[in-house]
Chain A
Amino acid sequence: MMQAAQQRPRSEIFAWGLAGLCVLVLAMMLIGPLVAILSQAFIDPASGQWGWQSMAASLAAPGMLQSTLNSVQLALVTTLIVLPLAYLYAAALCRTAMPGKGLMRMLALLPLLAPSLLPGIALVYLFGNQGILKSWFPDGSIYGFWGIVIAQVFYTFPHALMILLTALRVADARLYEAATVLGAGKIRQWLTVTLPSVRYGLLSAAVVVFTLVVIDFGAAKVIGGQFNVLALEAYKQVIGQQNFSRGAVIGVLLLIPALLSFVLDHLAQRKQQAMLGARAQPLVVQRQPLRDGLALLFCTLVSGALLSILAMAVAAAFIKLWPYQMQFSLNHFNFDDVDGGGWGAFYNSLLMSLGTAVFGTLLVFVGAWLTEKVAAAQPWRQALHLLAMLPMAVPGLVLGLGYVFFFNHPSNPLHGVYGTQAILVLCSIAHFYTTAHLTAVTALKQLDREFEAVAASLKVPFWLTAWRVTLPVCLPAVLDIARYFFVGTMTTVSAVVFIYTPDTMLASVSVLNMDDAGDTAAAAAMASLIVASSALACAIFAVLSWLLQRKSQRWRD
Chain B
Amino acid sequence: MQTELDHRELDIRQLGKSFGAFTALKNIDLSVNKGEFVCLLGPSGCGKTTLLRMIAGLERCEQGQILQAGRDITRASPAQRDYGIVFQSYALFPNLNIRDNIAYGLKGRQEDRQRRVDELLELIGLPGLDRKYPAQISGGQQQRVALARALATSPSLLLLDEPLSALDAQVREHLRFEIKSLQQRLNVTTIMVTHDQEEALTMADRIVVMNHGVIEQIGTPEQIYHQPASRFVANFVGHCNWLSATASGTRSVTLGQADLLTAPEQNLRAGEPCELYIRPEDIELLPSWDPESHTALGKLLHRELIGSIYRLRVAVAQWGGVELQIVATHREMANLRIDDGQLIPVRIPPGRLRSFGSGARV
Contact = CB atoms under 8 A, between A and B. Distances in A.
Interface core residue of A12, A449, A555, A556 (most chain B CB under 10 Å): A555
A457 interface: yes
B79 interface: yes
Interface stretch (A3-11, A512-520, A522-530): A3-11
A2 B85 contact: no
Contacts of B149: 454, 458
Interface stretch (A302-310, A420-428, A468-476): A468-476
A9 B87 contact: no
B72 A457 contact: no
Contact of B67 (A2, A5, A455, A552): A2
Given A456-B79, A468-B96, A555-B95, A3 B104 contact: no
A456 B96 contact: no
Contacts of B152: 458
A6 B95 contact: no
Contact of B78 (A449, A453, A557): A453
A56 to B, nearest CB: 47
Contacts, number: 97
B341 to A, nearest CB: 40
Given A3-B72, A453-B58, A459 B153 contact: yes
Given A5-B75, A459-B79, A555-B135, A450 B89 contact: yes
Contact of A457 (B56, B74, B134): B56
Nearest to A5: B75
Contacts of B72: 2-5
B84 interface: yes
Interface string A528-557: 000000000000000000000000111111
Interface in B51-86: 56-58, 67, 70-81, 83-85
Interface string A445-481: 0001111011111111100000011001100000000
B150 interface: yes
Contacts of B76: 5-6
A1 interface: yes
A553 B135 CA distance: 12
B356 interface: no
A457 B160 CA distance: 12
B91 interface: yes
Contacts of B232: none
B77 to A, nearest CB: 6
Interface string A1-44: 11111101100100000000000000000000000000000000
Contact of A473 (B74, B94, B136, B155): B94
B224 to A, nearest CB: 29
B225 interface: no
B93 A468 contact: yes
B105 interface: yes
Contact of A472 (B77, B87, B91, B95): B95
B310 interface: no
A1 B2 CA distance: 11
B102 to A, nearest CB: 10
Contact of B75 (A6, A12, A455, A555): A6
Contact of A12 (B77, B85, B89, B133): B77
Contacts of A473: 94-95
Contacts of B95: 469, 472-473, 552-553, 555
Nearest to A2: B72
Contact of A460 (B56, B77, B81, B105): B105
Contacts of A9: 77, 79-80
A2 B89 contact: no
A99 B149 CA distance: 49
A469 B135 contact: no
A456 B104 contact: no
A88 B325 CA distance: 63
A335 B97 CA distance: 54
A448 B134 contact: no
Given A9-B77, A448-B89, A555-B133, A457 B94 contact: no
A12 B91 CA distance: 22
Contact of A556 (B78, B85, B135): B135
Interface string B97-112: 1000000110000000
A457 to B, nearest CB: 5
A555 to B, nearest CB: 4
Contacts of B75: 5-6
Contacts of A6: 73, 75-77, 80
A3 B77 CA distance: 14
A280 B77 CA distance: 42
Interface string A51-74: 000000000000000000000000
Contacts of B58: 375, 453, 456
Nearest to B133: A555
Nearest to B153: A458
B77 A457 contact: no
Contact of A557 (B84, B85, B135, B150): B135
Nearest to A556: B135
Interface of B: 56-58, 67, 70-81, 83-85, 87, 89, 91, 93-97, 104-105, 133-136, 149-150, 152-153, 155, 159
Given A454-B104, A457-B78, A461-B79, 19 more contacts: A1-B70, A6-B77, A9-B80, A448-B89, A450-B89, A454-B91, A454-B149, A454-B150, A455-B104, A455-B105, A457-B79, A457-B155, A457-B159, A458-B152, A468-B93, A469-B95, A555-B94, A557-B135, A557-B136
8 contacts: A6-B76, A6-B80, A9-B79, A448-B87, A450-B91, A457-B105, A459-B153, A554-B133
Q: Nearest 8 pairs between A and B by C-beta?
A: A458-B105, A456-B78, A555-B133, A450-B91, A5-B75, A450-B87, A2-B72, A448-B91
